[in-house]
Amino acid sequence: MNTLLIILIAYSLMMIALGAVVSRGVKESNDFYVAGRGLGAMYLSVTLIAANIGAGSTVGAAGLGYRDGLAAWWWVGSAGIGSLILALTVGPKIWKVAKEKNLLTVGDYLEHRFDRRVRLTAAVFLWLGSMVILSGQLIAVAWILNVVAGVSKTVGCLLAAGVCTIYFTAGGLHSTVRVNLLQLCVKFAGFILALAFVIHLSGGITGLGEKLSAKVAADSVDSYLSFFGTGGAAIAGYVAALVPSFIVSPGLLQKIFGARDTKSVRVGVGVNALVLLIFAIVPVAIGMIARGWLEPLGNRELAMPMVLSEVLPLWLGALLLAAIFSAEVSTADAVLFMLTTSLGKDFYKGILNPEATDQELLRFTRRAAVICGVGGALLALALETVIGALTVFYSIITAVFLLPMVSGLYSKRVSARSALISIAVTVGMLFLIEFAPRVSALESVTGLLTYPVRAWGVPSLVVAISTGLAAMLVNEMLDVRG
């Protein structure tokens, strides 16, 4: 058996064992959903960082660094900016409401602030999007393992799905944060040591610069080594796609519900933001190193796997592989957390069995976690790739949750009807801009809608959210006049 695969299996068993040991403290749904609201700043920052440093923040960011140079920092950097806003605004505010009303999920908050219609509408989009996102993470794991260890897609998907499903099902957020601490140590050790080793091998920053100058066209070197080299439109696209999603992501907000107090929220989320802002340069630098060291790559997202297999010694390659695997699995468990807690509270407790006891809710949520883990693995095996669709689904989740969440927290006047209208208009506009132009019969209809995107470079999500906000405000004015 491949040495790298043996090491990875041993590491996977370690994560499962740790999850099983700490899960013995889970006695009720409050422990499973929000870790008994006992997370201090350290554990909160750990579980948020683990969730946020995933496939896109590592392999994807390295691919962007390979292609675009330092400007790729804005991909993960935008997530850090969104997290900083979350720490200073939405995070502490929504924690207070969740603590006071004993809310366990974002769906609980939406029903508390608006009504059940808003809760269920948002939940349906969350279920559909989360399953695709989960399968996408598993495909990403399988693809990396295939490149560096010769592992088949089936084995890769099942290994990743099995690991995160087992330790999450055992103890929910309570066990996840402890496993995340182990994963985070491995991530930082792997990425930072790999980066330091290759820079040293290159003869320092100066030597790496010389290698890049030899590989990058002379007229492109300056932009490649600039944080703004890709231009304002590309950077605005990153900011628009990632900043809002890191403010209102249900998975992140529900982890915040598990905080001990508002200070833990501010400090924990703030530390997470600071780490993302600093870490953002690491995968980008690895991608740039791949550009300088390796022959031209047909697929830029092979940058990090190729550095792992072609440049690093076995011991360091194994550590970097474990770091990448940790990144993928920790993001997958965050998606599983978001999906199954919503199914438990929004579907089972909200529709199927409103009179369910706490233990019945806990049993259902654990069963749902197993079913979703298996379902995500089967979907990943059935699809060739869904990585390209992940951005669309992340955008949809932002489109669904941003306006209701923010308006609900900061205005008492916004009605449930306005929240529903904002969701319908924002999601509908996003679909029209993204998909309708591909249908020739609709080109004349969508020309006006897509003009800001095509002519001015305004991100489609910004146009959609702006339209949804306008619809919300118009409905509020009509309600006042009525």
pLDDT at 62: 92
pTM above 0.95, yes or no: no
- Does 99 share its domain with 162? yes
- Does 290 share its domain with 415? no
Is residue 342, in this structure, part of any structural domain at all? Answer: yes
Element (H, E) at 182: helix 153-201
Residues of the chain with pLDDT under 70: 1, 219, 384-391, 436-457, 480-482
Q: What is the pLDDT of residues 309-333, one digit of tens each?
A: 888 998 998 999 999 999 889 989 9
Region for residue 358 given its phi and psi (left: phi exceeds 0; alpha: psi -120 to 50; beta: otherwise): alpha
Is residue 420, in this structure, part of any structural domain at all? Answer: yes
- Does 375 share its domain with 417? no
- Does 370 share its domain with 425? no
pLDDT at 7: 86
Cβ-count burial 58-79 (b if 16+ within 10 Å, e if not): bbbbbbbbbbbbbbbbbbbbbb
Is residue 399, in this structure, part of any structural domain at all? Answer: no
Compute how many other C-beta atoms are within 10 angstroms of the C-beta atom of residue 95: 24
What token pair was written down for 476?
Answer: 């509020």
DSSP 299: S
Q: Which of 15, 16, 329 is nearest to 160 (CA)?
A: 329
pLDDT at 434: 76
- Does 313 share its domain with 417? no
Distance CA 104, CA 84 (A): 23
Distance CA 303, CA 301 (A): 5
- Does 41 share its domain with 105? yes
Distance CA 247, CA 87 (A): 9
Q: Which of 48, 113, 36, 58 is nearest to 87 (CA)?
A: 48
The residues with which 39 forms a beta bridge, in sequence order, are: 259
- Does 433 share its domain with 377? no
The residues with which 259 forms a beta bridge, in sequence order, are: 39
Is residue 401, in this structure, part of any structural domain at all? Answer: no
pLDDT at 371: 95
pLDDT at 294: 86
Question: What is the biggest distance separating any 2 CA atoms in the chain, rounded to whole angstroms?
Answer: 73
Domain coverage including residue 470: 411-482
Report the first-to-last Cα separation within the chain, whole angstroms: 72
Is residue 404, in this structure, part of any structural domain at all? Answer: no
- Does 351 share its domain with 468? no
Is residue 402, in this structure, part of any structural domain at all? Answer: no
What token pair was written down for 78?
Answer: 């935008």
- Does 482 share its domain with 356? no
Is residue 84, in this structure, part of any structural domain at all? Answer: yes
- Does 332 share its domain with 420? no
Give the alpha-carbon dihedral of 157, 390, 240, 278, to 10 degrees: 10
Is residue 147, in this structure, part of any structural domain at all? Answer: yes
CB 200 within 8 A of CB 51: no
Element (H, E) at 81: helix 73-88
Q: What is the DSSP string of 323-366?
A: HHHHHHHHHHHHHHHHHHHHIIIIIIIIII-TT--HHHHHHHHH
- Does 275 share its domain with 338? yes
- Does 308 share its domain with 430? no
Q: What is residue 68's three-state secondary structure?
A: helix
